[in-house]
Amino acid sequence: MARVSDATKKPDEINSGSRSLSQFVSQSQQKKKAAKGTVVVQIFKERLRLVWSYAGKRYFLYLGLPDSKTNRIVADQKARQIEGDMATGNFDPTLKKYKFEAVSRRSQISAVALFEQFTESKAKYLATPTLAKYAAIVGYFKQCFGDNPASAIAEVDAEAFTDWLLTQIEPITAKDRLALIKACWRWGIEQDLVESNPWKEISKRIKPAPKQPPKPFSREEMGAIVHAFRSDRYYHHYADYVEFLFGTGCRTGEAIGLKWKHVSNDCSTVWIGESLSRKVCIKRK
């Protein structure tokens, strides 16, 4: 039988009146992987969802049902159906087989909740700086859309949001954020949470202003800069670092992320595969 846990509340906040405590798990237990072939029923933002892994992939099924004794029984039945299909080789990876009628859920989920669920589905695979971009979009949605349903957002609303966004951030950054929003709605369609994607063509409207091409330093200029560092009373210790940047062309984060293990034994080559950004080490795949 599926386990039930609250994905947002602390253990002492769980109401044990509707179920015995043995049917709940603590937050530390939630972080552990469930037994193979087990579907876990979770309470997320006061609504029920199913979580499980199959063939190396993590799945989330948002039922759109408020947490109640009756709805938990429904969730348990759905969880057992999925467990049975996994055990017999009849699992549907598209999840369409396990979804309830989508119309009511489409009318319920807000734009904010949709993006929060989208973020959670990606969180495991994203670095902290990238997650900060997702959090910023949630803030934009709260400010512009409030509790409005995601299904109520039309293309004209998306255009108005884009116009507002361009007053807040640079065009190139806005284009990146809109690409994430478009991906969110595309994911929402796959999850039967929304029916159409009003953001599909929006980002194409943004034309970043042309930038002046870079003017690299000449050899003479680089030599003069390095010499200035070496002869400076206060900053001479940066000279080798500056010369290394000039000589390799690597980014600042890549340079400060280097360790001795990245340098070959004869010091002729350097492996660059990590960078430091906002005190977070990012490893390249």
pLDDT digits (tens, 9 = 90+) for 34-71: 567 799 999 987 789 999 999 989 999 988 787 888 88
Structural Rg of the chain based on CA atoms: 25
Share of the chain above pLDDT 90, in %: 44
Please, which pLDDT band fits residue 180 given cuts at 50, 70 and 90?
very high
Query: What pLDDT, in 10s, does the model give residues 129-150?
Result: 788 899 999 999 999 999 889 9
Q: What's the mean per-residue pLDDT of the chain? A: 82
- 121 in Cβ contact with 60 (< 8 Å): yes
**Can you read off the two tokens belonging to residue 5?**
């846990």
Query: Domain-by-domain residue ranges, the chain?
Result: 3-100, 111-205, 219-283
**Between residues 246 and 195, which one has the greater pLDDT?**
246
In the predicted model, what is the mean pLDDT of residues 190-212?
83
Contacting residues for 261 by C-beta, under 8 A, at least 6 apart: none
Output the pLDDT for position 113.
Answer: 92
Please give the residue that has the higher pLDDT: either 19 or 209. Answer: 209
For the stretch 216-273, pLDDT in tens is 999 999 999 999 999 999 999 999 999 999 998 888 888 988 889 998 999 889 888 8
CA distances to 140, 174, 211 from 207, rounded to whole Å, are: 21, 10, 12
User: In this structure, which CATH number among 3.40.50.300, 1.10.1040.10, 3.20.20.150, 1.10.150.130 belongs to the domain 111-205?
Assistant: 1.10.150.130
Cβ density class 12-38: b for 16+ within 10 Å, e for less: eebeeeeeeeebbbeeeebeeebeeeb
Pairing of the two strands 274-277 and 280-283: antiparallel
Residue 207 has pLDDT above 60, yes or no: yes
Which residue do the tokens 């000039």 mark? Answer: 246
Query: 141 Cβ partners below 8 Å, 6+ apart?
Result: 111, 112, 115
Q: What's the distance, Cα to Cα, between the start and end of the chain in Å?
A: 38
Cα–Cα nearest to 153, from 206, 107, 118: 107
Name the maximum alpha-carbon separation found in the chain. 78
pLDDT range class, residue 101, cuts 50, 70, 90: low
Share of the chain above pLDDT 70, in %: 82
User: Whole-prediction pTM value?
Assistant: 0.48
Q: Is 42 helix (H, G, I), strand (E, B) or coil?
A: strand
